[in-house]
Structure 1
């Protein structure tokens, strides 16, 4: 077994591009090797700002010899009426280098076809790899790519060198005049010269000697260790701990090849800034790690991670301190200026911000959100109506503050801070921040019902407005993040267990656009269907069978919380021994009743003992199940329904549903329809029936 080492050396690649590129590189390499029928033991990737590398171990050194079948025309087209080969058959044979007499007939799922078998000799892996490596370079996709010099190739940054070794030997590869070799390069500043390597182990060791930690996981661990060391060595920082934000760790890891951390200080006056503003200023603009004390409060310290060893720590720290001081001075100025005007005074100015060209301004959106939030509060928690309207009215006002203009990620957070400063009720201020939650899939949801109501109103307003003007997501196009909005809405309803009618809320949101968009009643249904698809995808991704999820959603999704409860009940009940049999019987019932909607049953027309027994069982089960269904106790209701399995089986064994007498036939169909309607109150369990092979 052999090994492959391939490195693409570049100018500094943006930190956010590196890990996705390494993942894509590994996936593409595995796919191409599988396509060539070359086995391998493992694929690893390495990356720094200046390189993307691929290491394959246990690589098969040669393709196996194989016999390959080539399918030609059908037997019918290959032979004429006299049983002789047609010209089509002869042409196919010769196109493959065979004599017509060598054709065979083979049976396929589509029928009988002519076929020839070819003995294919496997090729040496070394001969197959150069085109693969070139394809890996040319097919790698980045958020933004660039041309350089007179190259037609595009890449994240200009390629400076190529390392391509197969069992220590250079693989011949030339792209845009750049030829592969056996050398890599060390740290740009500390060891920039070319250095030869002869394999994967040599590559890792040689780069480590030249101040490059090429393994991202190892480099990330080094970043963490360096940051912690810098804080522990800082004078007067007893009990201090760095705030190791995962996203910042990922970014810093891919900004450096040799992490060297240093702890700096800033003036205590900046601690008057909201903690979120301080952290954001350090993290987003400077890529510095904040430091907190034992009580969790920010200390006037920060940690910067350099890409070189530091000879004069005091000098390096002072440089970082000057840069951060300027940022924080701006932030403190913005903060003090913003507080001179209440949020409420800024609301009219939202008319100067366009929400969407066809949907009006952010001021109009705020008015719609306030009206919808008030309506939601009236139906869910009437005592919160005034607060919901107030929070929704102020929810977007902080977009006009200089702090949010400088740090967009602080939207909502600064609204809370400024709202409290203005004397708004704490619940209203909290709702201003929370209405943006969750920010991403799986993120934190609002903790307060008030924040949830405003968040629901905001998301539904966006969804309905965009659908009304035809701005629906298609493929990868989702300019307004409607998928994210729908997932966020589902998360809020689930997280706070809010039961409501999506159709009603969507219709109310559409009414808020009166005079702006056409009042097409179908828009509300489209929006609910869109949310339903996101909901189903989430449940299936969580590990539930698709059939189970669709069994619940197909009979009703207007209230997602209710739908979740029915899904849980179906999931619990499906392990019962009698459930698969009942599901199979229900599928049969669904096929029989088809378009029948009547459920009136005339006992006088029940002549067979089995149908009388089924009617009695249905009556008893309905009496027990209906109160449970009204209470949304779906699992006990389903357990009660399972008792009807045996009467249903006997009914199908002895009763002819489609009797010649029209009245009896209709009565039996009504009996089955009534049974079906009861079960459909929970889900269409016929979808969960699996046919035995």
Structure 2
């Protein structure tokens, strides 16, 4: 049991991919070792700007020996009547490189055969490892590989050295075109020369002494602690997005955090613009106060242990100043005209070739948002329709601003700032940012009523338009993010507890296209059908992410409710029902009822003739159904589907006894049809909530 060390030294690896490259390398090597039946105690992966490495401890020296049984011809064909081997037996033995006398008899349930038990000796681990590591490197998720110089070997960056050791000795091989050795390199500036690794176990400690913290997670934790300590010194809080933290960790071998500052005058600029440029362009960690207001400081990570850190700080302050000044210039330039004036240029900006300009889209959003606002008013929401229309007309205005032109991720945010500066009502201003929520899975939803109207109207207009021109998402292609938009619509209607019918919304969105320019959408009926089907298909993706079983979703989808809030209430009811002891037999009984009714050759009556109920079991079921119908009516009026299903659970015993004691397909046609009518009422009761025959319990 020994330690293996593998290291591939390169020019600086792509920082946004480094963590994934480390994980993929480790996963591939682990899988290959398991497949080769090579045991090991532990495996540790390392990743730094100029290296990927693996240290495998307690690895076995060789594969275990294993026996393999080879089966030949049947005994009857292998030996003649005198017991001498036939040509078939001798040919089989010769193929194995043995004498026919060494053959054994193998007994099987299909007869006896000749065979041979041979021992396959395991290969030495050191012999297998070079190919294992090369295969792992070949399979790394690298979008585009490169060749260096005259070498034909390809990798994400030019390879400089390769290390492959078993304890204190080198495993001689060639990996990525480089002869393996036991020399590594330290920090590019602090320790640039080659250094010998005396033992595979010394790898991490040696690099630590050479100013390289090779452990990615250790390096990241060190950065996090340093950043927090510097922020605490000025009673601030650092903004540390995980993606940025991963990228910064991948950029440095020996992280040292330093705090710098910028002029307070830049704080008049929307802080989102300042944060965007400092994070995206400079890889800085911005600082806010406890309320989330940006402070005139930032923290950066340097890769050099400087004797005079103040010079590095001054250099970074000098670099960031022009970027902040650019943001300030764009912000002030935009204020030379009111936000509404920017809408004029939207009349020449194309939203989509076949769907017209962004201005035309804004007009459609205004109509649809007003329609939704009227629905909210009917439900008792406090919302001004005129303000809603005003917000919709301004909703895309900031797309023509200089600030959004430079920082596209500020769309909506810039509009909110400019609307407030122009004295627009706060309800209007706040909605301009909220229209884009949610931006991703799990993101916050719009909070204001107008923001909700804009968010729904914008997504519905795009959804209907793109489907209307026949460009629905296919496979992995979804250039307009329609899948995300559809889930956003469902989330808003459900989580904001809005009892709004999707049919009404989609119909109104299509009508808006017809009113402006009917030629944009040729087949409006087909568009409606496709959009509704698309929205309904998103339920599965949304609820499976929440851990809801597929059969529960299918049970609700089977009755096709058009109100997302109602759909959600049914989902929760079916989930609760599934936990009841009666759920499984009732689901099975519903399958049976559905099958019986489906096979009926005549139309089944809606009413049951009580006089024809001759068997006690069918009389009992009829009575239970009648009681259940009375009990669930007020519950359905309240959409209390959970209580409805719990009430219907009382039908378990009567339904089971009915099937045990009553022949549905009686020879008497009247009796048969009456019993089918009774089962139809049972089926109808459950379908008021969901088709529980879909449940797989």
| TM-score between both structures, scaled by the size of structure 1 | 0.88
- Deviation, 1:389, is 2.6
Residue-by-residue CA offset, 1:386-416 (whole Å, 9 max, x unaligned): 3333222222221111111111121111111
Larger Rg: 2
In structure 2, which of residues 234, 249, 262 is the aligned counterpart of residue 253 of structure 1?
A: 249
Distance 1:462 1:33, change over 3 A: farther
Note the C-alpha offset of 1:304: 1.9
1:335 to partner: Cα distance: 0.5
Is 1:612 matched with 2:599? no
Matched, 1:651 2:647: no
- Matched residue, 1:402: 402
Q: Do residues 673 (structure 1) and 680 (structure 2) align?
A: yes
- Tell me the secondary structure at the aligned position of residue 277 of structure 1: helix
Q: Which residue does 2:480 correspond to in 1?
A: 480
Matches within 5 A, 1:117-516: 120-175=120-175, 177-198=177-198, 201-231=201-231, 237=234, 239-293=235-289, 296-381=292-377, 383-513=383-513, 514-516=518-520
Following superposition, the deviation at residue 166 of structure 1 comes to 3.5
In structure 2, the partner of 1:61 is: 61
Deviation at residue 134 of structure 1 after TM alignment:
0.9
| Separation (CA, whole Å) in 2 of partners of 1:612 and 1:485 | 52
Retained in 2: the 8 A contact 1:62–1:122? yes
Unaligned runs of 5+ in 2: 78-87
Asked whether the 8 Å contact 2:438–2:445 carries over to 1, the reply is yes
What CA distance in whole angstroms lies between the structure 1 residues aligned with 2:577 and 2:524?
41
State which drifts further: 92-101 or 353-362: 92-101
Q: 1:540 to 1:510 in 2, by over 3 A?
A: same
Would the alpha carbon gap of residues 468 and 295 (structure 1) be closer, same or farther in structure 2, given more than 3 Å must change?
closer
Q: Show the 5 A alignment for 1:504-543.
A: 504-513=504-513, 514-543=518-547
Sort the Cα spacing of 1:70 and 1:282 in 2 relative to 1 into closer, same or farther, 3 A: farther
Deviates more, 1:647-656 or 1:11-20: 11-20
Q: Deviations over 1:244-287 (max 9, x none)?
A: 34333222212211111222221121121122222222222212
Contact 1:2 1:57 in 2 (8 A): yes
Using a 3 Å threshold, how does the CA distance of structure 1 residues 114 and 325 change in structure 2: closer, same or farther? Answer: farther
Query: What aligned pairs does 1:54-93 form with structure 2 within 5 A after superposition?
Result: 54-67=54-67
SS of residue in 2 equivalent to 1:656: coil
Aligned-pair CA distance for 1:290: 2.0
Partner of 2:85: none
Cα RMSD between the aligned structures?
A: 3.3
Residues 459-504 of structure 1: per-residue CA shift (max 9 Å, x gap): 2233333334443444433333333223333332333122333344
- Quick check: 1:412–1:436 contact (8 Å CA) kept in 2? yes
Q: Tell which deviates more after alignment, 373-382 or 276-285.
A: 373-382
Q: Which runs of 5+ in 1 are unaligned?
A: 79-88
Match of 2:556 among 533, 552, 557: 552
**Secondary structure, aligned partner of 1:61:** coil
Change (3 A) 1:593 1:21: same
Q: Could you tell which deviates more after superposition, 639-648 or 182-191? A: 182-191
* Change in 2 beyond 3 A, CA 1:420/1:580: same
Note the C-alpha offset of 1:617: 0.9
8 Å CA contact 1:264–1:320 kept in 2: the answer is yes
Q: Say which SS state the counterpart of residue 301 (structure 1) adopts.
A: strand
Q: How many residues align?
A: 670
User: Structure 2 vs 1, CA of residues 476 and 208 (structure 1 numbering), >3 Å: closer, same or farther?
Assistant: farther
d(CA) in 1 for partners of 2:258, 2:403: 28
